[in-house]
Amino acid sequence: MSSNTASYGDCVSALRASLSFLESSVTTLESGVSDFPRLMSVLKTARHYELIPQTTLQAAEASLRSELAPAISTLLDRADAHIERVDRRIETLKARAELQQGRLDNSSSSSSSRQQQQQQHSRSKSGGGSTALDGSAKLRARVLKQRREALQYSVERLELEVLQKERELRKHLDAT
């Protein structure tokens, strides 16, 4: 039995040595772990920017393109149609201006020939009617000149509007 007690004594001493190593390990771990709450807050990652994978970004871009493509094409078609209408209107106004210019030229030449005929006719009867005719011809010429200037102004304004619309369309297309 003494051999048993010796072996039990050896076991107890080995157990005590293990316990002392365990206690020293626990104290070492406690000193190392006691700072964990502070370390967790220090080492906590804060996302300042949301990072997404490239494939997700490409899928989102493709989705946006597929959604916006019909609307963009519709807007481009509308813009083209509007530009064509404005171009036709400009051409019409230019043609009217040329027609008015031709009428003005014709009326001034025909009015001068009429004026000469009437002056000759009035001279044969009496010499006082030529000033009234000159005044009405001048008035008509002034009215026609004002109309022509108004039409030229309208044409210039419409051309500027077309240029502005084209710039806006280019900006819009460059932005997309």
Complete DSSP assignment for the chain: -HHHHHHHHHHHHHHHHHHHHHHHHHHHHHHHHTTHHHHHHHH----SS----HHHHHHHHHHHHHHHHHHHHHHHHHHHHHHHHHHHHHHHHHHHHHHHHHHHHHHHHHHHHHHHHHHHHHHHH-SSSHHHHHHHHHHHHHHHHHHHHHHHHHHHHHHHHHHHHHHHHHHHHHH-
Asked if pLDDT for residue 46 goes beyond 50, the answer is yes
Asked if pLDDT for residue 55 goes beyond 50, the answer is yes
Q: How confident is the model at residue 113 (pLDDT cuts 50, 70, 90)?
A: low
Asked if pLDDT for residue 126 goes beyond 70, the answer is no
What is the pTM for the complete model shown?
0.34
Q: pLDDT per residue over 63-88, tens digit each? A: 999 999 999 899 999 999 999 999 88
**Residue 128: what pLDDT?**
47
Q: How confident is the model at residue 61 (pLDDT cuts 50, 70, 90)?
A: very high
Match 């070492």 to its residue by tokens.
Answer: 28
**Residue 96: what pLDDT?**
79
